[in-house]
A = this chain, B = another copy of it.
Amino acid sequence: MVEIVKVGIVGIGHGRFGNRNDATVQELAFEPFKQAIQDAKNLRREDIDALVVGSVPEYHMQRSLPGVVAEYVGMNPKSTWLTEAACASGSAAIRTAYMAVKSGMHDIVAVIGVQKMRELSTDEILALMGRVGDVQWESIFGTTFPGYYAFYASRHMHEFGTTMEQMAQIAVKNHHYGAMNPNSFFQKEVTVERILKSEEVAFPLKVFDCCANADGAACVIMTNEKLAKKLNDSPVWFEGMGSASAAMSLLRRPNLYEIPSAVEAGKQAYKLANVKPSDIQVAEVHDCFTIAEIMAYENLGFCDKGKGGKFIEDKQSYIGGKTPVNVDGGLKAKGHPVGATGVSMTVEIVKQLRGIAGKRQVPDAQIGLTHNVGGIGQYTFVNILRR
């Protein structure tokens, strides 16, 4: 066995997120898969060893999703299975593919993050999503996803004086960049005033503080150091991989103003990549709600604890600021097809590091980070990539 030190990305693809009644789940999966193969140099589908599908299966009528996807995209008889870690399912798939390549078990692995959610009614989605929290002790009493993040927001406001205006500024930034991203669900700017006047979902969160359920898919093709240089002139490398868990039940968390799995996964990734938070030039973080992005700034060390509100107020997460964050629109503007999100984040970082992000390019970005939170923080995956 040859020792494989580095694992890189040689192909990327990204479908349009949003209402995709035009496509079945397998058709959604095919779009970015085809793009990713074409994005790589001289890669044939037959060269791909394995397919890892990141998805939350229960939102689909079709079960056994990797089976139908592998058949539809033409991957039989290659190895395939699905990974699930709630909203971080796509990052669990990337971590699996990383281990598959690094172990030498597979040479070239395709990761497809895919989700179709818009067929279900909001009530059905709310009920299913509430059960992503602890069923025995929490969701049985009626907790929902916006409710969980409303707890975080209230506590963050109480502890640190974070304001609803600051949360709204997250949405303003992300819709600003989302308007430049043709794959975004929403491609319009919004203002703080409009957000603050929008309907309340769960105090203090307004409708514009919440991301939208969406249909969508994204794909990355990963390989080892030896093959990467043949398959792409500018492969992007995984330098640090972090993965951690935290108590599912909020009752068992030490506090409600940070996500401990994010802090831990970040530490692991920084250590492996041997970089500091200030070295990150572009980041994709999990802004399922605006408060989540504020906590991410702090949990990842982009700013001090409690200073996340100030960080956005000072526009430090805009291009030109200290650490540009979610300059593709984030979950907020792109929409959040849960299984696809972690892969979508990774695709954007690859574009940024290759310098092909167009109007939303962070100048000369060489080190990027993805931060993908599952559920209410029971999982976080943090990866650091470098060109």
Contact = CB atoms under 8 A, between A and B. Distances in A.
B244 A71 contact: no
A6 to B, nearest CB: 11
A24 interface: yes
A66 B378 CA distance: 9
A103 to B, nearest CB: 4
Interface in A48-102: 50-51, 56-58, 61-68, 70-71, 75-86, 88-89, 92, 95-96, 98-100, 102
Interface SS of chain A: mixed
A228 to B, nearest CB: 16
Contacts of A134: 62, 68, 71
Given A105-B102, A245-B76, A66 B85 contact: yes
Contacts of A201: none
Contacts of A375: 64, 67
Q: Which of A50, A63, A131, A133 has most chain B Cβ within 10 Å?
A: A63
A71 B135 contact: no
A349 interface: no
A248 interface: yes
Interface in A97-136: 98-100, 102-105, 128-129, 131-136
Contacts of A378: 64, 66-68, 70-71
Contacts of A258: none
Contacts of A252: 71
Q: Which of A241, A246, A379 has most chain B Cβ within 10 Å?
A: A379
Nearest to A241: B105
B379 A81 contact: yes
A246 B100 CA distance: 20
Q: Which of A61, A62, A128 has most chain B Cβ within 10 Å?
A: A62
Q: Taking the full assembly, how many copies of this chain does it contain?
A: 2
A133 B85 CA distance: 23
A1 B3 contact: yes
Contact of A67 (B3, B71, B77, B86): B86
Contact of A247 (B76, B104, B261, B374): B76
Contacts of A81: 83-85, 88-89, 92, 95-96, 243, 379
A264 interface: yes
Interface of A: 1, 3, 5, 24, 50-51, 56-58, 61-68, 70-71, 75-86, 88-89, 92, 95-96, 98-100, 102-105, 128-129, 131-136, 241, 243-249, 252, 260-261, 264, 374-375, 378-379
Given A66-B245, A68-B134, A83-B96, 16 more contacts: A1-B5, A57-B84, A62-B134, A64-B85, A66-B85, A67-B375, A70-B378, A71-B378, A75-B245, A77-B244, A78-B245, A79-B244, A80-B85, A81-B95, A82-B92, A103-B103
15 contacts: A56-B63, A57-B84, A58-B58, A63-B128, A63-B135, A64-B132, A64-B248, A64-B378, A66-B245, A68-B135, A71-B252, A77-B261, A99-B102, A99-B103, A103-B103
Q: Which 3 A-B pairs have the closest CB atoms?
A: A67-B378, A79-B243, A102-B103
